[in-house]
Amino acid sequence: MCGIVGYVGPQQAEPILLKGIKRLEYRGYDSAGIALLADNGLYVTKAAGKIVELEKLLVHNTTESSHGIAHTRWATHGEPNQLNAHPHTDTTEDIAIVHNGIIENYRTLKSFLVAKGYQIKTDTDTEVLAQLIRFSYKGDLTEAVREALTQVEGTYGIAVISSAHPNMIIAARMGSPLIIGVGNGENFVASDVSAILDSTNRVVYLDDGEIATVTPDDYKITTIQNVKISPQIEEISWSLDEIEKGGFDHFMLKEIYEQPTTLRNAIRGRLNFEEGIPRLNGLNLQYEELREIKRILITACGTSWNAGLIGEYMLEEMARIPCEVEYASELRYRSPIFDLKTLLFVISQSGETADTLAAMREAQNHGVTTLGLVNVVGSTIARQSDGGVYLHAGPEIGVASTKAFTSQVMILSLLTTLLGRMRQMSVQTGQEIIEYIKDIPNQVEEILEKNEQIKNIAAEYYKADNFLYLGRGINFPVALEGALKLKEISYIHAEGYPAAEMKHGPIALIDENMPVVVIALKDPVYDKVMSNIAEVRSRNGKVIAIATEGDTEIADKVNHVIYIPKTYRLLTPLLSIIPLQLLAYHIAVMRGCHVDQPRNLAKSVTVE
Active site members:
2, 603
Taking the least distance from each CB to ligand AGP, the nearer of 66 and 356 is 356
Residues 423-452 binding ligand AGP (CB under 6 A) are none
Residue 302 sits in the site that holds ligand AGP (CB under 6 A): yes
- What is the SS3 assignment for 394? coil
- State the minimum distance, in angstroms, from the CB of residue 375 to ligand AGP: 8
Cis omega (within 30 of 0) on the bond before 87?
yes
CA nearest to 142, candidates 36, 220, 86: 220
d(CA 402, CA 349): 10
- State the minimum distance, in angstroms, from the CB of residue 419 to ligand AGP: 22
- State the minimum distance, in angstroms, from the CB of residue 486 to ligand AGP: 11
Alpha-carbon Rg for the chain, nearest whole angstrom, is 25
Question: φ and ψ at 516, to 5 degrees?
Answer: -125, 120
Interface pattern 323-352 for ligand AGP (x via CB under 6 A)? -------------------------xxx--
Q: Are strands 202-205 and 179-182 parallel, antiparallel or unpaired?
A: antiparallel
Residue 567 sits in the site that holds ligand AGP (CB under 6 A): no
Tell me the window of 299-307, 365-373, 513-521, 564-572 that interacts with ligand AGP (CB under 6 A).
299-307
d(CA 240, CA 254): 14
**Three-state helix/strand/coil letters over 357-418:** HHHHHHHHHCCCEEEEEECCCCCHHHHHCCEEEECCCCCCCCCCCCHHHHHHHHHHHHHHHH
- State the minimum distance, in angstroms, from the CB of residue 214 to ligand AGP: 27
Question: φ and ψ at 219, to 5 degrees?
Answer: -150, 130
Taking the least distance from each CB to ligand AGP, the nearer of 14 and 255 is 255
- State the minimum distance, in angstroms, from the CB of residue 604 to ligand AGP: 5
Taking the least distance from each CB to ligand AGP, the nearer of 65 and 606 is 606
Interface pattern 480-509 for ligand AGP (x via CB under 6 A)? --------x---------------------
Q: Out of 132, 301, 343, 480, point to the residue binding ligand AGP (CB under 6 A).
A: 301
Residue 356 sits in the site that holds ligand AGP (CB under 6 A): yes
d(CA 54, CA 59): 9
Burial class (CB in 10 A: 0-12, 13-18, 19+), 317: middle
Q: Out of 84, 89, 136, 303, point to the residue binding ligand AGP (CB under 6 A).
A: 303
Give the number of residues in contact with ligand AGP, rule: CB under 6 A.
16
d(CA 67, CA 7): 5
Angle at 507 between CA 506 and CA 512, to 5 degrees: 115
Q: Out of 63, 401, 572, 576, point to the residue binding ligand AGP (CB under 6 A).
A: 401
Taking the least distance from each CB to ligand AGP, the nearer of 45 and 408 is 408
Binding site for ligand AGP (CB under 6 A): 301-304, 348-350, 353, 356, 399-401, 488, 601, 604-605
